[in-house]
Amino acid sequence: MRELFDEVYGQGGFDPEEAVRKSMRGPRRKRFYTRAGFAEAGDGFAITLDDKMVRTPSRQSLTVPARAIAEAVVAEWEAQQDFINPMTMPLTRLANSVIDAVGDNAQAVADDIGKYFGTDLLFYRAGHPEPLVAREAEAWDPILFWAADNFGAHFILAEGIIHVAQPEAALAAARATLPRDPWTLAALHLVTTITGSALLAVALLRGHLDADQVWAAAHVDEDWNIEHWGIDEEVAVRRAAKLVDYRAAASVLKALVPVG
């Protein structure tokens, strides 16, 4: 079974596109089990296949911290048909990454999220056309006001793509909002890298925005271009793959972080 997980899932990081590329390399594997399930473990819920414990690529137990996550992972395995398609198993891939890579490196993951606060998507605005400028302001300004009011993080906006250094006080205040739990950090990291915005990820984490609102805010510019120029097949496929991983990460945050 280790060979299967090594080849199918690998031990990569959190890039959803790279995960999809890796999942499609090599021969497809046939479904080798009859049923998937989970059993209560001391530190969560262990995923099983035909009552045998599933292992990650590094041979650790594939154990998740919440029943809702366990049920969703089991559903991914049950949904597999004749062949296993990792592209349709984002929670399993995320779980492997958390268990094998994040547990002992939580601070490094938090630091990587923190870097996004210096170059966040929400800071860099279009100069024209005016309708796009207005649409960005409508979607993004309330999030910046929320961060300022709730965390004391006051950021500087820029027009175009020229880098603007953010105040250290704002960066420190934003970084202080990051969790320490490896599962929450991993899900937050995935949301951050997919959206290009740590502020949007924190807004989702804190329940200020829901998953659909964050996705829409992250794609203001892209949706504008699609409305005016259409969408090509490659962009559509890439966006659909990102959405699969995004929804998985958002579901983990919802299961682990009480809102309100």
Same domain, 156 and 173: yes
Same domain, 199 and 251: yes
Task: Write the DSSP string, 35-103.
Answer: -EEEEEETTEEEEEETTEE-B-TTS-B-EESSHHHHHHHHHHHHT--SEE-GGG-HHHHHHHHIIIIIT
Same domain, 56 and 153: no
pTM of the model: 0.88
Number of folded domains that form the chain: 2
Mean residue pLDDT of the chain comes to: 89
- Whichever domain contains 219, its CATH number is 1.10.3580.10
**pLDDT band at residue 11 under the 50/70/90 scheme:** very low
pLDDT of residue 110: 95
Q: Of 81, 102, 123, at which residue does a domain stop?
A: 102
Residue 179 and residue 33: Cα distance in Å, rounded?
Answer: 37
Same domain, 43 and 160: no
Expressed as residue numbers, the domain containing 23 is: 2-102
- Whichever domain contains 53, its CATH number is 3.30.2180.10
Distances (CA, A) of 188 to 28, 162, 176, 224, 228: 30, 26, 14, 26, 32
Same domain, 180 and 123: yes
Question: pLDDT per residue over 108-127, tens digit each?
Answer: 999 999 999 999 999 999 99
Same domain, 129 and 80: no
- For residues 29 and 77, the answer to whether their CB atoms sit within 8 Å is no
**pLDDT band at residue 252 under the 50/70/90 scheme:** very high
**pLDDT band at residue 257 under the 50/70/90 scheme:** confident
Question: pLDDT per residue over 168-188, tens digit each?
Answer: 999 999 999 999 999 999 999
Same domain, 57 and 20: yes
Residue 222 and residue 144: Cα distance in Å, rounded?
Answer: 20
Same domain, 143 and 199: yes
Same domain, 194 and 168: yes
Q: What is the mean pLDDT of residues 250-254?
A: 97
Question: pLDDT per residue over 49-79, tens digit each?
Answer: 999 999 998 899 999 999 999 999 999 999 9
Same domain, 29 and 47: yes
Same domain, 201 and 116: yes
Q: Of 52, 82, 102, at which residue does a domain stop?
A: 102
pLDDT of residue 16: 43
pLDDT of residue 136: 97
Percent of the chain having pLDDT more than 90?
Answer: 78
